[in-house]
Structure 1
């Protein structure tokens, strides 16, 4: 596959214990194109990189998200391993964009997500720009064409810009809405200053549910949980996408579009735990980490901890 690259095991480094005390000792790299999964009773999580920021470039954003997947891997590597022995975590490599052909990269990503799902592996996709969402959703839809898929997006932006000539990191949910008969989309953390009036109109036209960032707080926890719970009850399965730029830049300075007015970690973790406990979460991703603008790897560390928590919540 032209756009696929297996991860070199050497990226997973850290303190050695020889007893899987650390994540780099537990995670193994596989070639997704040829690997045969062992279908036993264990839970398998598959990390898949989306090493692409062509969509960000097209959306006039700050380049650098192409290096996001490896930055998250490096920060995840040294964390302590407290997972069950039979919980498998594999690094399934990355889909790349070597020739600015975003559309082909997205198609390769969709097929990779579908392959993981078809092998009963839970995908955790590491971005990369939020154009990943279009590819990710299509991969889920390929595997589950008759299921109602609800999208929950933790984000400052609707990403509902209309497509003009070609898709960007700002158009993924518009593309999904246009290509599907049903569109179930809940966005948490929306910022008025980051979404113009036309985007609000588009959201209303598509029946998008959302909560603005001043209401997406731990103080409003009960209402947030009610909204999320009602949304999940209306669909068969959930695709969770987490845009790191939705967090306050206090926690996440290394993103394509930073904001000091973003949401806090506590409410995000509460929502993520609720979604993971629903038994409806089918796949997730973390996007828009931009290592070029990170400070002491703070944003990469946050992304890595989110991956860690998701696996912890889901392993059962």
Structure 2
């Protein structure tokens, strides 16, 4: 693998790896070093890399350094994993932010094509735009799930920033976005204009209180995602123990790790990014980010591989008549998970063939039996028709 924009992991960390217990993650993963270069990825399932870019951040913070996250992550012990991991080092900030975007796009695209899941440690969250653009040549519509307190729609007519990247994703060609979902938004951080725009675009949004009251309802949301982004600003300040983020409300450590595991266990998620990391964050925050990565990989290890034709042949089919509609549900006998079929209009969008089954919960099926149409099915159907 030859990408000269990747910088090796700091030598001080490589020295520390030699002193780690042989069973720790750091002693087992492939690492990009000055001596051995970028590791080969043929037998790798998950590859981590950092992006030292923060110029489009409205916070004005300096470029992040990921040494402390790596130190924390390397010290952890893996679960009962059958996965091979690699640390590819960092993408340094380019001459312009667009140069950095191009490097991120190139690397993510290459990894996804090689069936390697990139885990991106990022500075400002506008890097999600580059993560998304990596799917331009993959001939599929994509679903983006963003764990965030804000929608980040912004004004698409203005320059891209870490608070307006979604607007650019929506309006810029090529149009690959099928659905955008915000998990954990807090109303007081979002204008009514943005809230109404989310509704008009048939995007999905889940308030923090609703999510934390029953985290398991988010599993189908992540199961339908292709790329997942997490903004560290979605975590409450007490869990980060840092003055960088000063919101008393947000996800706690256990909740954000549970969401990361849902992202990992999804058969469709092919890239995962953690953004808005700042070098001023302390040791507790670094360990929390390391554990978020750990839980994502834990989820990847326990994927059910139900997104295949052979697995779908085993699904049990249920038909529920509602008014003039017949809703078709499927249940996996292997995992007990549910899906609902979206009517596919071949004349509207030829890229939607992979989106005919929408993940749902058993509660959605029960509600349909009680003559209540699931809102997610309605929104997905409307997007297909528009």
TM superposition score category, shorter chain reference: 0.7 to 0.9
Cα distance, 1:187–1:15 mapped onto 2, change above 3 Å: same
Q: CA separation in 2, counterparts of 1:69 and 1:141?
A: 28
CA drift of 1:9 comes to 4.8
Which one has more relative contact order, counting CA pairs under 8 Å at least 6 apart?
Answer: 1
Equivalent runs, 1:192-207 vs 2, <5 Å: 192-207=187-202
Matched, 1:11 2:13: yes
Closer, same or farther: CA 52–91 of 1 in aligned 2, 3 Å: same
Judged with a 3 Å threshold, the aligned counterparts in structure 2 of structure 1 residues 181 and 16 are, in CA distance, closer, same or farther, namely closer
Deviates more, 1:86-95 or 1:303-312: 86-95
Question: Normalized against structure 2, the TM-score is what?
Answer: 0.69
Corresponding position: 1:93 with 2:81:
no
Partner of 1:170: 163
1:244 corresponds in structure 2 to 232
Question: In the alignment, which residue of structure 1 is the partner of 2:299?
Answer: 313
Query: Quick check: 1:124–1:284 contact (8 Å CA) kept in 2?
Result: yes
Normalised by the length of structure 1, the TM-score is: 0.83
2:61 match: 63
Q: Which residue does 2:271 correspond to in 1?
A: 283
In 1: Cα distance, 2:161 partner to 2:21 partner: 44
1:20 maps to 22
Which among 280, 291, 302 is matched to residue 288 of structure 2?
A: 302
Q: Which structure has the bigger radius of gyration?
A: 2
Matched ranges for 1:1-316 at <5 A: 3-12=5-14, 14=16, 20-30=22-32, 35=38, 37=40, 39-40=42-43, 43-56=44-57, 59=58, 61-64=59-62, 66-84=63-81, 87-99=83-95, 101-142=96-137, 144-145=138-139, 147-179=140-172, 180=175, 182-217=177-212, 219-222=213-216, 224-225=217-218, 228-229=219-220, 231=221, 237-254=225-242, 257-292=245-280, 294-295=281-282, 297-316=283-302
CA distance in 2, matches of 1:38, 1:270: 28
Please report how far the alpha carbon of residue 108 of structure 1 lies from its aligned counterpart in structure 2 after TM superposition: 1.0
User: 2: distance between equivalents of 1:112 and 1:96?
Assistant: 13
Structure 2 CA distance for aligned equivalents of residues 210 and 16 of structure 1: 45
* 1:278 positional shift: 2.8
Please list every run of 5 or more consecutive structure 1 residues that lacks an aligned counterpart in the other structure.
none
* Counterpart-to-counterpart distance in 1, 2:261 and 2:117: 16
